[in-house]
Structures are given as C-alpha cells and as structure tokens.
Amino acid sequence: MRSIRTFLVVVLLSTICLVTFVAVMHGYRSSLVEAEDLIDRHLVDLGKLAAVIEKTHDARILDHYSSDIWFQLWSEDNTLRFRSENAPDKELLPLSPLSDQQLHRVSYQGHSWRVISREFDDTTGNSVRVVVGVQESSYSALTEGIILESVLPIIWVLPLLGILIWVIVGVGLKPLHRLAGLLGHRKSDDFTVLNREGYPSELLVLVDSTNELLNGLSDAFEREKRFTADAAHELRTPLSVLKINLHNLARNSHIDAEDYQALINSADRIGSSIEQLLSLYRTASQEHSSNIEVVNVTKIAREVVASFYESCLAKDQKIELDADSVSIKSDPIAMTTLLRNLVDNAVKYTPEKGDILITLQPLSDKTAEMDGIVLRVEDSGPGIPEDSHKRVFDRFYRLGGDQHDSNIIGSGLGLSIVEHIVRLHKGSITLGQSEALGGLCVTINLPARENPVH
C-alpha cells in the first residue's frame, strides 16, 4: 500500500458507488412495480370510461385518447361492438373467461401492449366485455426517465465527492504527515523527544513509543561514548608504565631477547588498539557533525604522507602523492583519521622496496556547490582476496590473523574506521586490485554535501 490517503479515497468511493448502485437497482425494481400497479388502475379506469362512451355514444370523447391507448367493446357472443380507431378489429387476448381480471401482454403493430379485460352491463342489461390496451413503452420510458433523473446527479457528483473525500482525508492525516516530517528530517544524532501536543489519541501511542526509543538510543550512545573514551584514556597510563617497566627489566635482567620482543609487540598491539578506539570515538556521528568545516584534503594528505616518511624509509619503500587541490566539507579529525589508516595499512603490508601511490581527484558533480573527492590508495603488496572484501570491514577482523606471516602489529579496526567515516559522508568505498602496482587498490568517493551527516 503506497498511500493511506489514496487507499481511503479509492475504498470510500468504491463503497459509495456500490451502495448507490444497489440502492438504485432496488429503487428501479420498486418503481417498476409501482408503475405497473398505477398503469393497471389506469387501465381499469379507462375500461369504465369506455363503457360510458358506449352507453352515451359520445364519439367526441375518443378525440382525447392518446395514440398509445386503445379499447374494444365485445358483446356476450364475442362480437366486436365498438372500438377506437387505433384498436385492432379482432381478438388479441389469449383465450380466457370473461371474468378474467388479469393483465396480459400482447404484440400489436410491432409494439408490446399491456391489456386488461373487464366485464360490464350495458343499458339493456346485457354483459359486455371492455378490453383496454396501453403501449408499454409509454410508461416504461416514463419510469426509466424518472430513475435516470434520480441517478445522473449521483453520478455527476462522484468526482466532487472524491475531491471532498481527498481533502477531508488529507486534513485527517495532517498529524501523521507532521510526525513523519519531524522524524524524516531529524539528524541521526538528534535524540530529543517529540512534543506530544497537537496529536490525536491514535498517534499518542506512537509518539510515546518513539520517545521511549529515542531515550533508549540516547542513553546507549552516551554509554558507548563514555566507555570508549574512558577505557582508551584509562588504558594509556598503565600501558606507558608497562613499557617503561619492560625497558627497565631488559636493562637490569638477562631476559631473553625474543621474549622481550614478544612482550614489546604485545604492548604495541594494545597501544594500537587503544589509539584506534580513540579514533573510533572521535569519528562518532555526534562528534563528527559538530566540527564540520571546509577541509583542504590535499594539505592533510601531504601531512599524513610526511608523517610516514621514516617508516617508508626504514623499509626502502617509495611513496608517491598525486593530488589535485581538492577540498570538502568535513571534520578535519575524521579526514586525517581516514587518510592515516589507509596509508598506515599500505605501509604495513607493502613489502620492502615496494611502491605506494596515493591519488586525489575532484569528483565531478555539477549540481553541487563544491565538488566531492575521489581518493585512491594503491600498493604493491599481496592485496586482499575478493571473497574477503566485505569481511575486512568488520571490527577486529584481521585477514588470516596476520598478513603473510609478517608479525605486523594491528587491531583489525583500521578499515572498519575508514568505512565508518565514509558512511558518515554518504560516500562509497570499494576494494580491488591495483592495475599500476598489482596490490590492493582502495577507492573512496566522497560526494559534496552541505552537511554530510543527516
């Protein structure tokens, strides 16, 4: 069902048409019965009048008879004694006794006639039979005309009735449209309750349920924010202490170098997870939507590439930035986090003496005031199998636990955070194989928007 309003108008009009049709048919049948009774009484009166004409022999009365009415006078021996000019000169009724008071239908001159036979006494005391006929089409046309005149106004008024129903239903659905408009234009981070005033009792249940849901979501998001922020900040201090103690332990004890490195790697992994959790918190929709500004993505990309220069130098990697000057309305922290995670993954999983290419181009969108951007990060690493392209965006998922047994420290949150930021911008992210370098190619399209979060 696409529209409640359309459904109600169609159903109500259909019901009105059906009820009207049934009422008209019932009225039509009742009118026919009443018309037949009327014409029967009229025929009896005409028969009495014909008997008077025969007694007085006043032929001038015949001039007042319509062409669709005729009569005959028959003697007791079935001899035609008198008739109107348009009456047949022979017996048309089926064989029946003179006392038959029933009406008959006969065919005469190509028309159907309703005929009645009545017995009267003439001036001499002899019995005469008066037969009066009237053309059926005369009174059936009159009856149908009356019914049509009653039905046609109903048919003509149906369009007007449809418009009135459409307007009335629209007025009745206004509170529902207002509620739908409030919910439809509400931002994803707006959990304020709805005002209950102005809604009918049928919608108050929905408004109250929606308010309960909004309150629950607000509490849940607030708990998630507090937990992520508090947990990340609280873990930083003991982790720093742990690293210092490990360093002191290595200097003052004869700890095995391999065991020491394993402990350091574990600590670094915990530190990486903490930093990623903080990044996830900073890019939450509530935090993101409150820091929107015009961001020079090219400038951020240069800064991110520069920050990884030492890591690339240590692995003898070649990193290249091919960027046009592009800007977009976004949160600077979110854009920095997105680029850092992509470049960090490329540097980590690209082997020594490998190549990394970062491309920034404007996304052509003539309908927007500002172009979006297309970001590609390509490397010469092992890539990601096609059947795992969707799973790598799951939180804490790492391909094979550790890519190509390199003991690379990671938490499995990098691509999940990237995908989260792209979704906040209503953009798209795809994984594929780099045609230029042969490894992974991450392509991100971020459209231009007045406000990326709705």
Domain count, the chain: 3
Are 45 and 129 part of one and the same domain?
yes
Q: Which domain holds residue 91?
A: 4-158
Neighbours of 183 (CB within 10 A): 11
* The domain boundary residue, chosen from 256, 290, 324: 290
The confidence score (pLDDT) of residue 377 equals 92
Q: Comparing 154 with 4, which gets the higher pLDDT?
A: 4
Identify the pLDDT of residue 438: 87
Give the mean pLDDT of 288-295. 69
Q: Percent of the chain having pLDDT more than 90? A: 6
Question: How much is the average pLDDT of 388-401?
Answer: 75
In a domain, 176, yes or no: no
End-to-end CA distance of the chain: 27
Beta bridge partners of 322: 359
Residue 211 lies in a domain: yes
Q: Within this chain, do residues 349 and 425 fall inside the same structural domain, yes or no?
A: yes
Provide the sign of the torsion angle of the four alpha carbons 223, 224, 230, 231, taken in this order.
positive
- Asked if 277 and 297 sit in the same domain, the reply is no
Check whether residue 278 and residue 332 sit in a common domain: no
Residue 367: its pLDDT value, please?
45
In a domain, 164, yes or no: no
CATH number at residue 389: 3.30.565.10
Compute the Cα dihedral for 433, 439, 441, 442 and give only its sign. Answer: positive
- Alpha-carbon distance of 405 to 207, in angstroms, equals 55
Q: Judge whether residue 98 has pLDDT over 50.
A: no
- Residues 6+ positions from 362 with CB-CB distance below 8 Å: 324, 326, 371, 372, 373, 374
Over residues 263-281, mean pLDDT? 67
Report whether pLDDT(12) > 80: yes
Residue 168 lies in a domain: no
How far is Cα 343 from Cα 320, in angstroms, rounded to an integer? 11
**Paired tokens of 352:** 């020594």
192 with 273, same domain? yes
Q: Which residue has the higher pLDDT, 296 or 452?
A: 296
Structure tokens that stand for 289 in this block: 């939507």
Measured from the Cβ of residue 347, the count of other Cβ atoms closer than 10 Å reads: 21
Phi then psi for residue 378, to 5 deg, are -120, 150
Considering the domain architecture, whether residues 222 and 298 belong to the same structural domain is answered as no
Residue-wise pLDDT tens digits, 327-363:
888 888 888 888 988 998 889 888 889 999 999 988 7
Q: Is residue 362 part of a domain?
A: yes
Dihedral-angle region of residue 109 (phi above 0 means left; psi in -120 to 50 means alpha; beta otherwise)? left
- C-alpha–C-alpha distance, residues 261 and 250, integer Å: 10
What is the reported pTM? 0.48
Q: Of 429, 309, 440, 315, whose CA–CA distance to 379 is shortest?
A: 440
Only one residue has tokens 């006639």, namely: 113
pLDDT band (50, 70, 90) for residue 99: very low
Query: Is a pLDDT exceeding 50 seen at residue 95?
Result: no
Read off the pLDDT of residues 221-246 as tens digits, 9 standing for 90 and up.
Answer: 777 777 766 766 666 667 777 777 77
Please state the rounded mean pLDDT for residues 205-216: 86
Contact by Cβ (8 Å): 285, 321: no
The confidence band for 217, taking pLDDT boundaries of 50, 70 and 90, is: confident
Q: What is the pLDDT of residues 13-62, one digit of tens each?
A: 888 888 887 877 777 777 777 777 777 777 777 666 666 665 555 555 55
Mean pLDDT across the chain: 76
User: Among 61-65, 134-138, 152-156, 195-199, whose mean pLDDT is lowest?
Assistant: 61-65
- Kindly report, residue by residue over 395-408, the tens digit of the pLDDT: 777 776 544 445 56
Instruction: Using the 3D structure, point to which of 290, 309, 343 is the last residue of a domain.
Output: 290
At residue 368, the pLDDT reads 44
pLDDT digits (tens, 9 = 90+) for 422-438: 888 888 999 999 888 88
